[in-house]
Every structure is written in C-alpha cells, then in structure tokens.
Structure 1
Amino acid sequence: MEIRRFDARSATDDELRQLHRITVANQAITRPNEPAPTFDQYVGRLLHPVPGFGKPTRWVAVADDRIVAWTTMFSPEAENPHLTIVEQLVVESSARRRGIGTQLLRTFLPELIAEGRTTIEFWAVTAGGSGESWAHHHGFRATHAVQVQELGTRQVDPARWEVEPPPGYRLVSWRGRCPDDLVESFAVARTAIKDAPLGASEFHFAEWTVARVRAAEAELAEAGIENRVCVAVAHGTVVALTMVELHPHRRDWAYQNDTAVLAEHRGHGLGRCIKAAMTRSLVAELPELRSVRTQTSTSNVHMIATNHALGYTDVRIQIVLTHDVRALARTLGGQRA
C-alpha cells in the first residue's frame, strides 16, 4: 500500500471518481437519510474548500492502483497555530479493519509535529457512528457537539419568515463587501461570535478587525463563494449580524454561517429577525434554492429554538474529537499498521 499526498486540481478524472465513490458509499452508512452529492458537486467542493481555515492538505492510500482511503485536513493560522483540523478520514468499506486509517494518521503526524501543531481535532464526526468508535480507540476524546439543522425552503410556510425588526432597529443587507460606513462596527459585531459555546474544543474564534474583514471578503470572492450578510443597525452601529454562503457548485443549497448579537442588544429577537429577513431574500432571489443548512452547539438551546421557529428541522448531531499530537504519535508508534 502507498500513502501519498493528493492534489484535487491535478488529479485525473478517474481518481476524482474513485474519491466520489468512496465518499458516497461512506455517507450511505453514516448519513443514510441525506442525499449524496453528485460527482460535479463533490468535485466543486474539493476545488472550492471553505475559506478561513488555511489551505487543505489531502492524503490518499492506494492499493492495487486503486484509492481505498483518503483524508483532508486544515492547519489554520492566527488564533489557531497550534491546531490541525481533520475534516474527513474515509476508508472504503471493503478495506476497513486493516489499519489503513491508522496508517494515514501515522504518516502525516510527523509533519504536524514539525510545524509546531500540538492539537489535532476531527470535526463533523457523526455521533454514535463507526468514526467515533475508531477515534475513541485511538484515545481521542469528545470535546464538543453540534446540532445540524436544515431548512427546506419549499416545505415551510413563508409566514414564519415575516418578522419585523423591533423598535429602534433597522435592517441593512449586502453581498460581498461591507459598506465602508458600517465595516468598523461590523468587525466588532463579528467578534461577538466568541460568546458561542465551543465545549472543550481547542479552536479559538477570531478577533475581527477591519483589515481581517476585508481579507475574508477577498478570500471568499477568490473562491467564487457569494457571501450574503444581513445586519441590525441601531444609531448607525451594527449590533447583530447573520451571514450566508452560496457556493458555486451548489446553487440549490446555502450554508447559514455565523449569527451574532452584541450582548447589550440580546433579548429583543434580533437573531430571529435578521435570519428571517435573510431567508426571505434568498427565497425571493434564488428560485433554484431548495435548502439552507446550519449547525449550532447543542448547548445553545436558544439558537436551536430560534431555528425551529423559522422552520429548520434537526438532521443529526456531529461531534468534535480531540487529541494531543505528540501523545497520539507515541501511541501509534507502538501499534501495527
């Protein structure tokens, strides 16, 4: 078996189809009630990864000239130079229980140590699935849980989204670049997401500045991702915000990103108001849209209830699994591949 780096941009069509086949088969087991991505959608995701977490690094395991396992990881900077995030580690069902996933881990851990990464976290692991069991076997501990929710835009009564702003607030929306007169207070409001619970995950939210806002906008634009924003403004200052991403390979689908309200303006229903306004505009302007996906910490019962009020339904619970990089390397060093 050979383990090597994998670059989606230079991969052959056959290699990409092998990855897609493995992923679809795995999803049928871990997420049986969710539609699998088409080949084009899957490749689009590979070529347009979510910005903000650093460039992805991918590895594949090849046996008999066929890809049998692969993984994607991100190594963010700024507040998280200690952390590597593993988005997925997938092994073909017929190749499981042969130590291939373990060998993938063993191969890339030395690079993480050389880079000074001290913590590794698996994100988006389906709670109660085989991935969680495998990770626990290697000493990973569950540190956070999120509720994945979805809004079927064609199945929900639009009256749920008719929410007026409370007195003293007005709504402002834009695509892409934040207006210059709001960008400073928008950066402050984005930092309010730090109040969102993260459990014991070692990921740290960003400290937003005007420069970082502009850099993030540029990164999204370069990736071909349309970023839509709706904010609540009081006395010329942004006090609440919600953001949605539209990816070029999934025009029927939107990702509801951060929603944050400054502490002194909470309790007025602003989160529900701006999310409702965002949903109205998405449905009115995107006739091909079918669903909006989001995720919220399971301990954030208020936001989960807000989403329910707008018509979101619960899809599954995902967990974050965390381990010390050097401790994991020592453990795997004593195991057979």
Structure 2
Amino acid sequence: MGVIDIEELDFANAAEADQRELFDLQVDWWTKAMPPRRLPDFSGWVRRNQTPEGNWGRARFLVARENGHVVGYAYGYLPTTDNTHLVAGSTIVGEQWRRRGIGTALLRHALRLANRDTAGVSWIPGDSEGARWATRRGFTVVSSLTLQDLVLTDPLPEVGEVPPGHRLVQWTGRAPDDLLDAYVDALNTTGDQPMGDSPYELATFTRERVRQAEDELLAAGGEVWVVLALHGTEAAAVTVLHRRLSRPSVGHQQHTGVLRAHRGKGLGRLVKAHLLHQLTGFEIIETETNTTNEQMLRINHSLGFTDRLITVDLSARVADLML
C-alpha cells in the first residue's frame, strides 16, 4: 500500500485521465449501490460537472491519490444565496481501498475547506454501508426518498378531462415571456412539499432565477419540458422534466405542484399524464418523492411508475462530527 495524498482538483481543467478515474469510481458506486436504468455517458457527465447548478454553483472536488491514481474523492456544493450555512456533497472510495480511513480523511479535509456550519448528504441507499458509515461519524437521517421510474411503452396512461375553466399549455426550452409570471407562481407552490427534518431551505423562485436555471441547463446540452395548467391567466398546476446530455434517453421529473386553490381536482396527475404524451426520444422517466408524500406516490403509481429504491438524506452540525 502506497502513501495516500489528498488534494483539490480543478475539475474543469483537469486532465482527461483524472476525469475518467473519477467517472469510473462514480459508475462503480452507482452500479453496486443503486443500479440505474441507464448509466451516464462520460462526455455528458463531464460537461454536467463543469456547469453550475443554479444557486448551488459548480461541484468542487477533492481527490485521494495513491501512486498518482485517483482512488477516492469527495465532491460538494457551497450555495451562494440560499442555504449559505450548508455544504452538501458526498464521498466515494474505490472498493479495494476502503477501510483505510481514506473516506474519513477526505470528509475531514472537505469540511475544513468548506467552513460551513452544517453538512448534508443525499441519495444514500437506506440500510447501506454508506449510510452506516455516515451515522457512525455523527450524521443523522433527516428524510427519505422513494426513487421511482417508468419505462415508456404503449399505451401511455390516459390523460383525463381538463376541469372546467382550466387549460393546459406546454413548451420545451425557455418559458414564453407571457407565461413566465404564472410559471414562477406555480413553481413556488412546490415549497410546501414534505421535507422531514432536512436542513435544506427550499429556494423561492423568481423570474431571474428561472431564467438562470433554464440558461444553465441549455448551456450544458440539456432540455426542459413543462406542462402548466392555467385557470384564466393564473397558474393552477405545473410539472417540469429535464433531459441531461449525460443520459439523453432518460427524463428526470423535477417539480410537480398544484396551487392550494386548485387542489382536489386531479390536476397533479393531469399535468404529469399530459407531459408523458408530449415527450419524444425518451425511454425511461425517473423521479423521486418524499416517502411521506403518499398522494404523489399514488399519482405516480397510477401513471405506471414503479418503486425502485429508498434513499436517505443525512445531516449533521459539523462541530458534532467525529472525524
């Protein structure tokens, strides 16, 4: 066993060999811990990590090397407006290098550089070695998500009738200027979704933030698909789906929400079903829902989604961690 060196890595300007070693470690973890329906393409994965994620900014990387080769890494985000108390990320160590303290060393180094009060980690399979590793160091499970997916086959689920006084509009790419205000209002209704004890504070959408998020996704080679339900000129419900360059055949369902005044009319299922009929070039749709959100889970099941995996989010005050 050689000496382990830990250093920051400028991912955007890193050598392709380093990027590929990071990618291989990530894919190995995905394959064993939470097998995806589709693995990402290397070039698309690189481009995504080079692109800011809205208020979260670009991912920052620390790497652990042995004899010059990357054997583990930590990556994280430091939000710049909302959630400025928080660093969010994860740590991955190649299987043959585990139990040597590399993950703990990466985490310790990353938290020192981040200098934030709270640390959070998401998308960890429940009852997994990764979750147990984190809890032994002082992290606490604060919420859980049910990952669901839908293999698109004919026939697609029926859309159903649009309630009287309502209409549906849809688009891809940037929201039309005349619908932007209604779109922002609809997105903000997702702020009352169940979050458990998560330290994450859901951001308030504004016209500027929506445009920034759209432009960043499109700049990274992605696409956005939206169905918006209107009552007159006012928002009633919305659903949003993203396609990433790294997995072009997979759609990731993002926000779905119904404004309080329009709930109980089936609009949540309606906009999601309508969206499925607009999509082209997709094979699989993935989504995640808080495990306590029984209504959305039922809606997804009615559309043909199946439960694939339960993941947990963990959090800790950095000062309380045992590193």
Tell me, yes or no, if structure 1 residue 297 matches structure 2 residue 290: yes
In structure 2, relative to structure 1, the CA distance for the partners of 1:220 and 1:22 (3 Å cut) is: closer
Q: Equivalent residue for 1:134?
A: 133
Q: Equivalent residue for 1:121?
A: 120
Q: State the secondary structure of the residue aligned to 1:268.
A: coil
Alignment of 1:1-337 (within 5 A): 1-32=4-35, 34-48=37-51, 50-86=53-89, 88-113=90-115, 117-154=116-153, 157-158=155-156, 160-282=157-279, 285-286=280-281, 289-328=282-321, 331-332=322-323
Q: State the secondary structure of the residue aligned to 1:9.
A: helix
Does 30-39 or 205-214 show the bigger shift?
30-39
Structure 1 residues without counterparts, runs of 5 or longer:
333-337
Q: Is the 8 A contact 2:57 2:79 kept in 1?
A: yes
Once residues 264 and 146 of structure 2 are traced to their aligned partners in structure 1, the CA distance between those partners, rounded to angstroms, is 22
Does 181-190 or 25-34 show the bigger shift?
25-34
CA RMSD of aligned residues (A): 1.8
Query: What's the TM-score once normalised by structure 1's chain length?
Result: 0.89
Once residues 212 and 51 of structure 2 are traced to their aligned partners in structure 1, the CA distance between those partners, rounded to angstroms, is 17
Q: Equivalent residue for 1:335?
A: none
In structure 2, relative to structure 1, the CA distance for the partners of 1:99 and 1:206 (3 Å cut) is: same
Once residues 74 and 297 of structure 1 are traced to their aligned partners in structure 2, the CA distance between those partners, rounded to angstroms, is 22
Once residues 74 and 37 of structure 2 are traced to their aligned partners in structure 1, the CA distance between those partners, rounded to angstroms, is 21
Alpha-carbon shift at residue 161 of structure 1 (Å): 3.7
Alpha-carbon shift at residue 12 of structure 1 (Å): 2.3
Alpha-carbon shift at residue 133 of structure 1 (Å): 0.4
Once residues 229 and 55 of structure 2 are traced to their aligned partners in structure 1, the CA distance between those partners, rounded to angstroms, is 24
In structure 2, relative to structure 1, the CA distance for the partners of 1:99 and 1:130 (3 Å cut) is: same
1:75-131: CA deviations, max 9, x gaps? 113221111111x31101111011000000111212222xxx211101111111111
Once residues 243 and 304 of structure 1 are traced to their aligned partners in structure 2, the CA distance between those partners, rounded to angstroms, is 17
Alpha-carbon shift at residue 173 of structure 1 (Å): 0.8
| Pairs aligned (count) | 320
Q: State the secondary structure of the residue aligned to 1:202.
A: coil
Structure 2 residues without counterparts, runs of 5 or longer:
none
Alpha-carbon shift at residue 48 of structure 1 (Å): 4.5
- Give the AA of the match of 1:292: I
1:144-198: CA deviations, max 9, x gaps? 10111111013x631x143232222100111222222222222122111111011
Q: Is the 8 A contact 2:58 2:77 kept in 1?
A: yes
Q: State the secondary structure of the residue aligned to 1:307.
A: helix
- Give the AA of the match of 2:299: T
- Aligned residues: percent identity? 33
Q: Is the 8 A contact 1:60 1:70 kept in 2?
A: yes
In structure 2, relative to structure 1, the CA distance for the partners of 1:30 and 1:142 (3 Å cut) is: same
Once residues 48 and 100 of structure 1 are traced to their aligned partners in structure 2, the CA distance between those partners, rounded to angstroms, is 28
Query: What's the TM-score once normalised by structure 2's chain length?
Result: 0.93
Alpha-carbon shift at residue 248 of structure 1 (Å): 2.0
Q: Is the 8 A contact 2:146 2:289 kept in 1?
A: yes
